[in-house]
């Protein structure tokens, strides 16, 4: 599914923040139930459980929901481009028309 499909989970400014493991409010982490997700591109009708590109309103970042790559040869080939905290994901090419020829 292409286009913008919004799931109204609130906005980042409205939330009571979620709590850490000890139950203390974490003022740096928004409550996950209060984050507004806009699906920019998704692969299946419900746009909930399939590969997707989402927008949380951050002007600098988009988010990808995709399958992690587990093939050690492919991961190894990308190792020089990945920091230890980064992960490699496979994403359907047809969901990004700019690169699908």
- For the entire predicted model, the pTM comes to 0.60
Cβ contacts of residue 99 below 8 Å, gap of 6+? 93
Locate 76 and state its tokens: 């190894």
Tens of pLDDT, residues 34-54: 888 888 888 777 656 788 899
Residue 18 has pLDDT above 60, yes or no: no
| Rounded CA separation 15/32 (Å) | 9
What does the pLDDT read at residue 68?
A: 94
Tens of pLDDT, residues 67-91: 999 999 999 999 999 999 999 999 8
């Amino acid at each position: 599914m292409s286009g913008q499909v919004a799931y109204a989970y609130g906005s980042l400014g409205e939330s009571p923040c979620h709590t850490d493991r000890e139950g203390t409010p974490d003022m740096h982490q928004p409550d996950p139930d209060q984050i507004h997700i806009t699906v920019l591109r998704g692969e299946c009708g419900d746009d909930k459980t399939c590969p997707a590109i989402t927008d949380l309103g951050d002007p600098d970042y988009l988010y990808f929901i995709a399958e992690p790559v587990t093939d050690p040869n492919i991961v190894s080939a990308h190792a020089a481009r990945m920091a230890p905290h980064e992960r490699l994901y496979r994403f359907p090419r047809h969901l990004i028309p700019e690169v699908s020829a």
